[in-house]
Amino acid sequence: MNKCPILIGISGGTGSGKTSAAKKLLEEFKRGEVVVIEQDSYYKDLTHLDPKDRHKQNFDHPDAIDFELITEHMSHLIQSQSIECPQYNFSTHTRLPNTIKIEPHQVIVFEGILVLHHPALRNLMDIKIYVDTPPDIRFIRRLTRDMQARGRSLQSVIDQYLQTVRLMHEEFVEPTKYFADVIIPEGGQNHVAIDLLRTKIRSILKESQ
End-to-end CA separation in angstroms for the chain:
10
Residue 58 has pLDDT above 50, yes or no: yes
Contact criterion met (CB below 8 Å) for 95 and 45 = yes
Q: Does residue 181 form part of some domain?
A: yes
Range of the domain at 186: 6-204
pTM of the model: 0.87
Q: Does residue 193 form part of some domain?
A: yes
Q: Does residue 209 form part of some domain?
A: no
CA distance 58 to 165: 8
DSSP 8-state secondary structure symbol assigned to residue 137 = H
Q: Does residue 1 form part of some domain?
A: no
User: Given this model, what pLDDT does residue 197 score?
Assistant: 83
Contact criterion met (CB below 8 Å) for 39 and 110 = yes
3-state class percentages of the chain: helix first, strand second, coil last, to nearest 5: 45, 20, 35
From 142, 91, 84, 72, select the one nearest 113 (Cα to Cα): 142
* C-alpha distance from residue 25 to each of 132, 168, 189, 199, 206 (Å): 16, 27, 11, 10, 17
Which residue would you say has higher pLDDT here, 63 or 156?
63
The CATH number covering residue 95 comes to 3.40.50.300
Q: Does residue 63 form part of some domain?
A: yes
Contact criterion met (CB below 8 Å) for 154 and 132 = no
3-state DSSP of 41-58: HHECCCCCCCHHHHCCCC
Contact criterion met (CB below 8 Å) for 105 and 85 = no
Segment 151-208, tens digit of pLDDT: 788 888 888 888 888 999 999 999 999 999 989 887 767 888 888 888 888 887 777 6
Q: Which range has highest mean pLDDT (53-57, 60-64, 158-162)?
A: 60-64
Beta bridge partners of 109: 8, 36
Q: How many domains does the chain have?
A: 1
User: Given this model, what pLDDT does residue 1 score?
Assistant: 46
CA distance 194 to 188: 7
Segment 91-140, tens digit of pLDDT: 788 899 999 999 999 889 999 999 999 999 999 999 999 999 888 888 88
